[in-house]
Structure 1
Amino acid sequence: MSASARIRDRITRFHRAREGAAAVEFALIAAPFFLLIFATLEVALFFLGSTIIENGVNEAARSIRTGQLQQSGQTVEDFRGAICERISSVADCSRIQLDVRTFDSFSSSSMTSPLNADGEIDDTNFTFDPGGGGDVVVVRVFYDWQLMAPGVVSGMTNMSGNKRLISATAVFRNEPFE
């Protein structure tokens, strides 16, 4: 058998051979497939955490709205504890920031972004003023959510250090409890 015939024979056998084709095909799609799975899980966990934090803030803010917090003499740490009871399944309570303000009307309750130019939460102007009966109150809670796979969902970061800010806000008029 001539050399050219042997080469043609080997090329023909190579084209007919199918052993390992599935492994090669899986290797080609495995990286994008797992990237998609991890991105989906990351986004799902973020939205789960965001929803739990929002619900926790709304439930805890009810104590301000009804005057229970003010009349019982509770402090900012008591209010923080009430929120933490509701969100501890998804959040580290030491990383939440509170801003509770009182306004004369809903139209005068304009707020600014809590992030500074470095992408960090700037809490220097945060306050805790739950107000009195009939006051308009804005309760804002901020949490810096650490992304588990930042390279996978790099478009989600809006803070430094591969973090995403979760902001939960409740705006209401206090009941006339005084």
Structure 2
Amino acid sequence: MSPFPRPRTAAIRAADRFRGNNRGSAAVEFALIAPLFFALLFAIIETGLIFFASQSLETAVQDSARMILTGQAQIAKFDKQGFKQNVVCPNVSVLFDCANGVFVDVQRYSSGFGSVVISDPVTSADFRNTKYEPGCEGDIVVVRLFYRWPLFVTGLGYNLANLGGNERLLSATAAFKNEPYGGCP
């Protein structure tokens, strides 16, 4: 053995410095975990927004249905567009684009709750078959609101879409028997 130390190469010295330095380890660990963390965070936020929007739509359908239930919509002689603009839109103006996105379907049934047939709106996603039949006193009425909610986190592998084009169909329904209000024959 030589009494003189062997000269170390620059690569070995750099490797020794890298191995002994822990200052950047937190940044490297965060860089490895951050994409998963943010994907999970955005998925949770989007799911929460969908639940909140769905509950808001449920509240709007209950408030709007009350106008038909008590005969106020029939007395005001609303047509489908008038009912949507004057009754539904003021109840959903915060979260939803009422003019282009909210669809209203009001159907009456005169022979009881057993005769109610609810069609699946997803098969006709253009919503051209929606009706506005508020009925008369004692009629069974089903009020439904639909909204196409846009999704943003679907590219990260978390897809809640049930319509094409990264959209989720939100729906809310109210079924009731019209009260006597003295308006229909």
TM over 0.5: yes
Letter in 1 for 2:120: S
Q: Deviations over 1:90-119 (max 9, x none)?
A: 000121111111112111112121112xxx
Distance 1:171 1:3 in 2: 88
Query: Which position in structure 2 is the counterpart of 1:97?
Result: 103
Q: Deviations over 1:19-76 (max 9, x none)?
A: 2001001101111111111111111111111111110111011010001111221221
Distance 2:12 2:81 in 1: 81
Query: Which position in structure 2 is the counterpart of 1:60?
Result: 64
Structure 2, unaligned runs of 5 or more: none
Larger mean Cα displacement after TM superposition, 99-108 or 148-157: 148-157
Tell me how large the CA RMSD over aligned residues is: 2.1
Mark the structure with the bigger radius of gyration.
2
Larger mean Cα displacement after TM superposition, 147-156 or 79-88: 147-156
SS of 2:113's equivalent? coil
Query: Which position in structure 2 is the counterpart of 1:35?
Result: 39
For residue 159 of structure 1, the aligned residue among 146, 159, 163 is 163
Distance 2:16 2:158 in 1: 46
Distance 1:2 1:105 in 2: 99
TM-score normalised by length of structure 1: 0.88
Letter in 2 for 1:95: G
Asked if structure 2 preserves the Cα contact closer than 8 Å seen for 1:61 and 1:139, the reply is: yes
For residue 86 of structure 1, the aligned residue among 79, 91, 95 is 91
SS of 2:52's equivalent? helix
**What is the CA-CA distance between 1:127 and the residue it aligns to?**
1.0
Q: Deviations over 1:77-101 (max 9, x none)?
A: 2211211111111000121111111
SS of 2:39's equivalent? helix
Distance 2:142 2:128 in 1: 17
**What is the CA-CA distance between 1:11 and the residue it aligns to?**
5.2
Distance 2:113 2:57 in 1: 23
Matched, 1:70 2:74: yes
Give the total of aligned pairs.
Answer: 175
Letter in 1 for 2:121: P
**What is the CA-CA distance between 1:15 and the residue it aligns to?**
3.2
